[in-house]
Amino acid sequence: MKRLMMLVMVLVTISVGASAQKEKFKALFIYNFTKNVDWPAQLKNNQFVIGVIGNSQMAAELQTIALTQKVGNLPIKVVNSASPDELEFCHLVFLSSSKTAQLPNLLGKLSGKQTLVITDGKNLATKGSAISFIQDGDKLKFEISRRNIEKQGLKSSSALANLGILVD
């Protein structure tokens, strides 16, 4: 019995260092989208700014990605905000589903500012966002509007259009 207890204790001790995994796939996708969109050269200055509205967990997860990853050669800065007013200088803005009502206001603020707007909900790419996550049963999909991407002065890869649900 003593040997048994020792064995269990050794294995439990090994495991103490492990921490809970909290990242979400949506954050992985947002990071992945940055590899599939091209921002104008003048915006490639000292950092790549991602703004998040209404989802502090998403901001925290993007922050975790920012610790180890870059967009191109630029380090990532994550700005967690409650309103669109603070996010005028972002390369990318994620608007959480609970703040969808703020989309028209956000688009107004970001008009012509080369910002990729990502939303979370159905039919939002037809309402002005560039990319919008949708949940189809168990599957995570995304709508994409090439017109809205171009309207913001950005270019997207063909992979993005091919793999998403094109709305225009």
Partner 1 sequence: MIDYRNASRRWLAGMLMTACVAFSAYAQDSAPSVSQMNEEQIHQLSYNDLLQLSLEDLLTVANRFGMSADEILEYFLNKDIVAASKKSEKTMEAPMSSTVISKEQIEHSGATNIPEALRLAPGVIVREKTPGNYDVHLRGYDNVPSNNIMTYSENQLTLLMIDNRPVYSHTFGGTFWEMLPVEVSDVERIEIVRGPSSALYGPNAVTGAINIITKRATDKKVAVNFDNALGNNNSHLANIATSFGVGNKLLARVSGNYQWNGRFNNDFYTFYDSQYHTQEFLETTLDPEDITKRTVLKENASAREPNVRRAGEKYGANVALTYPASDKINFTLMAGAQKSAVLTSMLGNRWAPLSTRESQTQYIDLHADIHGFQAQINYNTGVNEYEKLVHGFKCDIDVINASLEYDYTIHNLTLRPGVSFQKANYNDMPYVNVDLHDGYMNADCEMSTKAASLRADYTAFGKWRLIGALRWDQYNIPDVNHFTYQFMTSFKINDNHLLRASYSRANRGPFITDTYSNYTWYKIPNVFHIYYMGNKNLKLPVMDMMEVGYRVKPVKYIQADFELYRTEMNDFSWFTDDSLQYTGKTFPDPAMLAWINYHNFDLKVIQSGFSANIQVAINKNLTMDLHGSIQQTELKDFFPVTTFAMIQQLQADAMVSPYKKAAYTIDPSTFVDQSHEATPSFYGGASINYVLRDKWNLNTSIYHYGKQTFAMNRESTVIDAKTLVNLKVSYNFAKQNKVFINIRNLLGDDSNEFAFADKIGTKFFAGVQLQF
Should residue 82 be labelled a site residue for partner 1 when binding is judged by CB under 8 A?
Answer: no
Neighbouring residues of 46: CB distance < 8 A, sequence distance ≥ 6 = 74
* Binding region for partner 1 (CB under 8 A) out of 40-48, 65-73, 84-92, 122-130: 65-73
Q: Residues 65, 78, 116, 154: which binds partner 1 (CB under 8 A)? A: 65
Binding mask 130-149 for partner 1 (x = CB under 8 A): -----x--xxx---------
Position among 42, 45, 46, 68 found at the interface with partner 1 (CB under 8 A)? 68
Fill in the per-residue mask, 16 to 45: x = in contact with partner 1 (CB under 8 A), - = not in contact: --xxxxxxxxx-xx-xxx-xx---------
148 Cβ partners below 8 Å, 6+ apart?
A: 117, 125, 128, 129, 130, 168
* Site size toward partner 1, by CB under 8 A: 35
Q: Are 54 and 82 in contact (CB under 8 A)?
A: yes
Closer of 28 and 82 to partner 1 (Cβ): 28
Q: Is 95 left (phi over 0), alpha (psi -120 to 50) or beta?
A: beta
Interface with partner 1 includes 13 (CB under 8 A)?
A: no
Smallest gap from residue 21 Cβ to partner 1 (A): 4
* Paired tokens of 121: 């909900």
Residue whose structure tokens are 């509205």:
53
116-135 burial code (b ≥16 CB/10 A, e <16)? bbbbbbbebbebbbbbbbbe
Among 83, 98, 104, 163, binds partner 1 (CB under 8 A): 163
Taking the complex as a whole, the smallest distance from the CB of residue 109 to partner 1 amounts, in Å, to 28
